[in-house]
Amino acid sequence: MIDAHLLRDDPERVKRSQAARGHSPETVDLAVAADLERRAAISAFEQLRAEQNAFGKTVARASKDEKAALVAEAKGLAERVRAAQQAVVDAETAAAAAFGRIENLIIDGVPAGGEDDFVELRRVGGIPSFDPADFPDGPRDHLALGELLGAIDMERGAKVSGARFSFLRGVGARLEIALMNMGLDKALAAGFTPIVPPTLVRPDIMQGTGFLGEHADEVYRLEADDLYLVGTSEVPLAGYHKDEILDLSGGPIRYAGWSTCYRREAGSHGKDTRGIIRLHQFNKLEMFVYTDPADAEAEHTRLLAWQEEMLQALGLSYRVIDVAAGDLGSSAARKYDVEAWVPTQGAFRELTSTSNCTTYQARRLDIRWRPDGGKTQPVATLNGTLATTRWLVALLETHQRPDGSVVVPEALRPYLGLEVLEPVA
């Protein structure tokens, strides 16, 4: 939720952020007006309450002959108080709705625009080449490789669960587990506490993290239980400290959530239908951080560095982009995507991202800290993926050999116990 003080003191700054995201600045004017109405309703209610309390004392002191008329007047005043109280409830509901339409304030320097307006920050690693003499038909895609290795079974995934589901089997399952364990070791070395969170959450948690806005159609909901399946462990990890005051005297609180994730992939019909690049169900190791807002940008840089170290250790070529404001999602104030080169697509594809959500989620979930023993303030929250199923796409295609075998990156070998993935007989 946007900072109410910022909205009142500098609405033009909030308008610029909304405009950069592609939203009408009118949302800010409506929120300012709703806030004024809410405060006016509270003031009117409090004034009437004070009158009621004072009148009650008058009634108590009145003589028996006077009380009958005063009691009738008191009843009328009580009705006005009840009406004023309801007006406060209505005004607060309207203000909450108006505030909810304002997304997180973007950080200075975030490019304006939509999905195609990102800024490329750097490229790391050369584009993999495949000698036509060895690959006369070009490199195999990850699904062809996965089938040769007995690692990916999309046909049975569709038979059992429908489109965009798969079975990872044999070395495919082992490869994903090895990748996740490698990521977990990276997280442990950086001071993260591992957590296996629930993957079903209550509506207030999903709403608080900002996932029930424009992209609510991506979320699976169990209507009979009024619970949501999470698309990232960011959601339960953000809710973990809901309504709490945290101790940040020892520095950031870092969690690494290992979970299965679910996304409906609504609106992606016809996109990435082959293979495992866009599934309804996948596994993910997610970094999540609570920190002093003053340190949030530095922590964001650290999260990105750990992601890059993982991709470099896996021998993947990639680029880092600064995502444009209109493609951030409601909670993120800045997001960096790391996109790896996928040889058979001849393009960089997103493997991981990291977002600085500043105090937006913490305000919605009432997560605070007490700097220097003073007044409580919202913490900052950040997230970033350290390993996920999609990484197998770039891993298999980049390190393939002409016979369909795949060389295991050296950094991954201790977790897998194999140097080469061989085609099954």
Please write the tens of the pLDDT for every residue from 111-152. Answer: 999 999 999 999 999 999 999 999 999 999 999 999 999 999
Residue 350 annotated to the active site: yes
**Between 233 and 65, whose confidence is greater?**
233
Q: What percent of the chain has pLDDT over 70?
A: 98
Q: What is the pLDDT of residue 125?
A: 95
Residue range 318-370, pLDDT digits in tens = 999 999 999 998 999 999 999 999 999 999 999 999 999 999 999 999 999 99
What is the Cα–Cα distance from 122 to 108, expressed in whole angstroms?
19
Catalytic one among 259, 353, 355, 363? 353
Question: Does pLDDT of 65 surpass 80?
Answer: no
Picking from 396, 380, 384, the residue whose alpha carbon sits closest to that of residue 307 is: 384
Q: What percent of the chain has pLDDT over 90?
A: 82
**Between 69 and 152, whose confidence is greater?**
152
Q: What is the pLDDT of residue 61?
A: 72
Residue 221 annotated to the active site: no
Catalytic one among 92, 309, 350, 422? 350
Catalytic one among 103, 176, 390, 397? 390
At CA 63, angle to CA 58 and CA 64, rounded to 5?
120
Catalytic one among 16, 140, 263, 334? 263
Residue 103 annotated to the active site: no
Residue 390 annotated to the active site: yes
Highest mean pLDDT among 24-38, 39-53, 288-302: 288-302
Q: What is the pLDDT of residue 49?
A: 87
Task: Kindly state the average pLDDT of the residues 69-76.
Answer: 78
Q: What is the pLDDT of residue 171?
A: 97
Confidence of residue 207 (pLDDT cuts 50, 70, 90): very high
Question: Does pLDDT of 67 surpass 80?
Answer: no
At CA 148, angle to CA 143 and CA 152, rounded to 5?
45
| Domain architecture of the chain: domains with CATH | 4-100 (1.10.287.40), 115-421 (3.30.930.10)
Confidence of residue 215 (pLDDT cuts 50, 70, 90): confident
Helices (H), 10-63: 11-20, 26-61
Task: Kindly state the average pLDDT of the residues 72-92.
Answer: 88
Burial class (CB in 10 A: 0-12, 13-18, 19+), 355: buried
323: its two tokens: 């995502």
User: Which residues are registered as beta bridge partners of 123?
Assistant: 319
Question: Does pLDDT of 250 surpass 70?
Answer: yes
Confidence of residue 75 (pLDDT cuts 50, 70, 90): confident
Question: Does pLDDT of 3 surpass 90?
Answer: no
Q: Which of 50-59, 349-358, 367-376, 414-423 has the lowest mean pLDDT?
A: 50-59
Catalytic one among 8, 13, 278, 349? 278
Task: Kindly state the average pLDDT of the residues 293-302.
Answer: 98
Confidence of residue 425 (pLDDT cuts 50, 70, 90): low
Q: What is the pLDDT of residue 412?
A: 98
Task: Kindly state the average pLDDT of the residues 64-83.
Answer: 79
111: its two tokens: 């490019």
Q: Mean pLDDT over all residues of the chain?
A: 93
**Between 372 and 171, whose confidence is greater?**
171
Q: If DSSP states are collapsed to H, E and C, what string results for 157-188?
A: HHHHHCCCCCEECCHHHHHHHHHHHHHHHHHH
Residue 353 annotated to the active site: yes
Question: Does pLDDT of 62 surpass 80?
Answer: no
